[in-house]
Structure 1
Amino acid sequence: MAAVCDDTSDCAICLSEFTRPCRTVCSHTFCRECIVRALQTTGGYGNCPVCRQFVGLVSVVDEAVGEALVPSHPRSALHGSVWVQQTVGSASYHFPDEAAYISYESKECDQWPALDNGTRPPRRKYFVNAKLDEETRTFVGTIDWSPTSWQGAVRWEYMMRFSPDLSTIWSGQVRVFREDGVLSRTDEFGHALKYINAELLEVLTPRVQRAVVPVPFQDVRARRPGESFLRFLIRYAENSL
């Protein structure tokens, strides 16, 4: 999905005029408090409220100072990168200078279902027909489970597209095929599959995860005249932390 620039002076989250506007990597602008609150609840990364691209706080820029909300060192290359949902080794994607692979090296993978022939998945499952294009930030490749299958799937065909700042896999899909060649399902990156650059784990985890503050009913009366309810919730939460 192509980035679309904003042409409005109102935040799409609180529906009020921007307060300290911040722009996402997909070129949408929100109030600083609004986008921080929206992404904090999912660990510092999630879907853009406008276009649903998968973004993170590390790629949200405060327009007043021209800096990212969560500083991190630049990520400049796909080769050598690792991409995770939660932890390295739990179906994480690895793109070394040699062959790309999916890692099942984490101990939690020992609790996952066995292959359909009863054996355990390999610690590293290598892609075949793999191609990583740095210029277009795109990867294509296939995971071939034959002569066995995994939960009925014999082949997974991947297409991943990485965000411009290499912080997330923000689009693409995995097409899952049965042994008879029939497509059984398609999983979308940025929606069912949410992967971030593993370099961000050390940046995001300790700095942006905070609980959402509940608002007692009696405190709702502190809402200011003309203030949207979402704007009130954000102000209340910020004052309570």
Structure 2
Amino acid sequence: MTQVTSQHTIAGTVLTMPVRVRTAHQHTAMFVVDADAAQRMIDYSGLRVCRFGRGHRKAMVVLMLMRYEDTDLGQYYEYGTNVMVNPPGSNATGMKALQSAGAFVHHLPVDQSFTLEAGRTIWGYPKVMADFTIRNGRHFGFDVSIDGLHAVSMDFAPGIPVPAAFASKPQVHSTYSHLDGVTRETEGRMVLSGVRYRPGGVSLRLGEHPYAAELSALGLPKRALVSSSAANVDMTFADSRTVGEA
């Protein structure tokens, strides 16, 4: 039996699913924030933040910078604000629930038009055009500006190498998005290599763009729970599926 493979035409280019990322670099920072504030920020999605901690008052937000080098969508930078959420219909709480939570993509600026169109069209990701300034050195850092307004800056201290046996196992995860009244789920598969972790380890600065005001409403900037980097991320993104409509 022949398996049917879906395709999408973006700016005259045919993309065959799943979309593949062969080479990418990643920097992330995890922050514990007030769950009610995080829920208010993403209420429009219809999803529920994954709550943990005493009284289920805490939620997890992950800020990240990706440098995509060799992908089906070309080369580009991407910043993301991700809120950990329960699968639709679940009200699970606690650390065990957090381990199986998905990432709701609330902000996703990029610096190339092709990936912007593909991301919005195929997966409903809220991609917008932005300018990125990258600082490479002992401390990796970046600035993101949108429409000429500074949104966010982060600087990472070097992390501690994690043995490949622990960090390089294949992972399957779901991301969620909401665009034009439709909430979608996208399954991704990834393998990380060259992983480093560090408690804290990141300096966060917010600017004057409205994105920064949303992060400030979460109580940021504050000390990160943990920061990490990956020398390479190999991953695929499948077609999205609709999980809710407004």
Verify same fold: TM over 0.5: no
Q: TM-score, normalised by structure 1?
A: 0.22
More strand by share: 2
Larger RCO, structures 1/2 (Cα 8 Å, 6+ apart)? 2
Work out which of the two has the higher radius of gyration on C-alpha atoms and give 1 or 2. 1
Q: TM-score, normalised by structure 2?
A: 0.22
